[in-house]
A = this chain, B = another copy of it.
């Protein structure tokens, strides 16, 4: 096999890209470093330079997934002008992201990456925490009990995503719109 020429940073990005594709193709079964190398057209040795073991690769995939989720949430909020409508839009985007990328979504929430990011305080790059932070801001504006409302909002969208992914509730676009709307608080 003729190795393709990559700049250092480009190869890392290419490996993550191929890793994400393999993860979805294999329906969540973790790709090996060897498979990722083959897909990227490089040697296993080249991969080890960026990811010493599979755990390192999976952590990078989860981190990349978080960034993608944050991006679609931000775009969804911006598209309706932010505010309370924007917050509801981030919730719908969260569920739709899960349905579009089931293996990546499960990886994000079973990997230690999310917790590690949160402990670092890097909330902006953390989509779970992004939703959570948005929820807290929303709840604070609505008055009282901010923490509980933030976790309730996150739990609602996470539970809906999981029940749809596991086939317990139909993965119905209109249902997502109906369920996640701006709620008047009692």
Contact = CB atoms under 8 A, between A and B. Distances in A.
A135 interface: no
A169 interface: yes
A163 B154 contact: yes
Interface residues of A, number: 30
A163 to B, nearest CB: 6
B156 A115 contact: no
A166 B163 CA distance: 15
Interface of A: 109-110, 112, 114-115, 128, 148, 151-152, 154-163, 166-169, 175, 178-179, 183-186
Q: List the 5 closest pairs (A to B, CB-CB), nearest first.
A: A159-B159, A184-B186, A155-B159, A158-B159, A155-B160
